[in-house]
Amino acid sequence: MEKIGKYKIIELLGKGAMGIVYKALDPDIDREVAIKTIRFDLISDDEEKDELMLRFIREARAAGKLVHPNIITIHDVGKEKDMTYIVMQCIEGPSLQNWIASKKKFSAPHIIKLILQLCDALNFAHQNGIVHRDIKPANILLDDNGKPHICDFGVAHVEMSTITQTGATIGTPSYMSPEQVMGKKIDKRSDVFSLGAILYELLTGRRPFEGESITTVIYKIVNEEAVPCTQIRKEIPQEFEQILKKALSKDPDGRYSSCEEFAADLKKITHFSDETLAMTGISESALTMQAPLKKRKKIFLPLALAGAVIVIGIGGYFLYQKFGNKSSSSEEIKPTLVESALLESRSMNPVLEVLETESDKLVNSFNKGNYAEAVRIAQSILAQDKQNEDALDYLAKARSKLSESQIAKYITAGKRDYDNGNYEQSKVNMEQALKINSKSVEAKRYYNLADKALSEESIRQIVERQSSAQEKKDLLAFLSDIGPDALLAKKRTDAIQLFNNYDNIKSRMSDLAISFIDSNHADVSFSHLLVAVDKKTGNNKVIFEGKKTLTLEKLDNTWKILVYR
């Protein structure tokens, strides 16, 4: 696509169960925006589809009134042909899900700062009568300063209800409240539960309710208590345990009644571990998050050891500053050891970036969609370690993504050519796409549509050429479209007889209809009136009046008449 409404498409950002997200340009004010298209074609019931579309537009407009520094701003919502879309603020940064999956480190103070900002945003929405319903790391975007932005307000309700009704997978329920997974009525306390699940994951490196299948996860959410966070990580301050127990209460009445109340308890925590809380690998089982690279291979060992020495040295200095200097204020939140030395003034960044290796760069490039760069880095790693499983894995995935991108370009160009009536060029583009992926459904569809359009055009030209050749008494042109020798001989005799006995021939054809038997065979019917002047009498005579049917076959990309009826 080149445009959606007035917005000029720049690039594709991602795809979801309900549609596609594009980066686009608002030409009126020269501003980059994100556009999320919403698919309602999954719903077969027209009345239900109309109702959901109206609800989406109503809820998106309501969410558009939410002006908050930690909520993605909605600029516009509209409908173009069969596509409904929402235009919103474009954040150039990863999702919290990406950061969790990348195995970076989070400090307790930063986790609190992050959650407090999210609490403030959700509390603002709740005060304005809007419940998000789908709070999860994938719906939280981090800008360059690590500031979180909640997205998909006004979209989650429609998406989830729509997908559920059509029987498609709704994705991981790991952050849903018990009342939500059971289909009960929900309120703002459901968002509190989801936020509690995110806090638990940031602190422990595990989700509070895990399982090998969605069914298992749902069962645990409804029936089992989460393992206390301090049993997983002993360095986690004890105060978090009671906060999480309340936030993750099965009974909404036992939960925090608001995000404001949730935040108030978080602000009371004054003791922090001296170590950052490193995220462990998160098993996705049947879920859909991108798996991160494993620990770096032996070729990076010298760099890792050097990094460890630096970190230990810096750590000793800051341990002295924390415990040796008694004059520091106990109420002030101190920066964590490695974080202070390496990030300095970037106090709002919730991610601890320590000695990024080639493996880290590979993961980041892939997660950001820089697939060509990911291929280059993977090849560089493999030049030193041919058996590096992670590099081999990411090389294959990045190449696959590049292929998908190339296919998308060919399909986009081919569809544009088809819409503009350039059917031959449309076929060329779709052929290129099919060379990359012979199973591409969309490329096959548009190839066949373009081929059919070209065939219809060729068949119409044949019928018109037959009529014109009769009027001009052009025997060669009349016979040029006939295939079998037997039919050719018969039509040659008929044409010679017509041309020798009549002048002023008028051939009129109407009501042309083409019916394809398959891609290489078609039936053509039309009304035919053939009038001429008899050479002997000089009188006008109707030679033929009625319906005619032809059967044609395509041989070597050329259509020929097989049967005259």
Q: Cite the active site residues.
A: 134
Q: Which two tokens stand for residue 408?
A: 């998308």
- Alpha-carbon distances, residue 114 vs 58, 134, 156, 293, 396 (angstroms): 30, 18, 22, 25, 35
374-380's contacts with Cβ under 8 Å and 24+ in sequence apart are 374/398, 375/399, 375/402
* Residue-wise burial string across 124-143, b where 16 or more C-beta atoms lie within 10 A, e elsewhere: bbbeeebbbbbbbbbbbbbe
CA distance 47 to 537: 68
Q: Which two tokens stand for residue 37?
A: 């298209």
CA distance 135 to 482: 67
394: left (phi over 0), alpha (psi -120 to 50) or beta: alpha
Angle 371-384/389-419 helices, nearest 10 degrees? 150
| Helices H / strands E in the chain, number of each | 19, 14
CA distance 395 to 404: 14
CA distance 293 to 394: 8
CA distance 172 to 169: 9
Closest CA to 192 of 271, 121, 143, 282: 121
CA distance 457 to 93: 49
Q: How far apart are the first and last CA of the chain?
A: 45
Q: Which two tokens stand for residue 129?
A: 């009568």
Closest CA to 351 of 257, 295, 276: 276
| CA dihedral angle for residue 494, residue 500, residue 505, residue 508, rounded to 10 degrees | 0
CA distance 67 to 70: 9
CA distance 407 to 251: 49
Q: DSSP class of residue 155? A: T
DSSP 218-268: HHHHHH-PPPPHHHH-TTS-THHHHHHHHHT-SSGGGS-SSHHHHHHHHTT
CA distance 411 to 413: 5
